[in-house]
Amino acid sequence: MAVLFQTIKTIKMSNFNSLIKSDKPVLIDFFATWCGPCKMLGPILKEVKDTLGDRISILKIDVDKNQQIAAQYQVRGVPTMILFQNSKQLWRQSGVLNKEDIIKIILEKSNE
């Protein structure tokens, strides 16, 4: 399944686990619709996807509608980005970063 850049409204835990199992890095953006910084991060992540193309999947997960997943990964503030590859958490950060920093982190932390 080729997941490119999408916002996930609600997701079952089993589906989430299958998404992060990918050989390709998967960046999850835990966000909330009411969060100002989350709205700023969206366009930045789109630019990251445009730059890295098929080398990464980027998913946005609404914490208010997916509280079980947010709790499992101890997401206390939004936005929180978590980078996964082969079901392993490689990196996490709360807050907004610029495009260049996000790309650098993805390339350094993943097998890409």
- Give pLDDT tens digits for 53-102: 989 999 999 999 899 999 999 999 999 999 999 999 999 999 999 999 99
CA distance 88 to 59: 16
Q: Which residue segment(s) compose the domain that 81 sits in?
A: 5-102
CATH assignment at residue 41: 3.40.30.10
Domain count within the chain: 1
Catalytic residues: 35, 38
Q: Does 86 fall in a domain? A: yes
* Confidence bin at 11 (pLDDT 50/70/90): confident
* Confidence bin at 10 (pLDDT 50/70/90): low
Q: Does 111 fall in a domain? A: no
Mean model confidence pLDDT for the chain? 89
- For position 1, what pLDDT does the model report? 34
Q: Tell me the pTM.
A: 0.90
Q: Does 110 fall in a domain? A: no
Q: Does 50 fall in a domain? A: yes
DSSP 21: T
| Cβ-proximal residues to 87 (8 Å cutoff; 6+ apart), any chain | 17, 20, 21
Q: Does 109 fall in a domain? A: no
Tokens (6 digits) for 68 = 């079980």
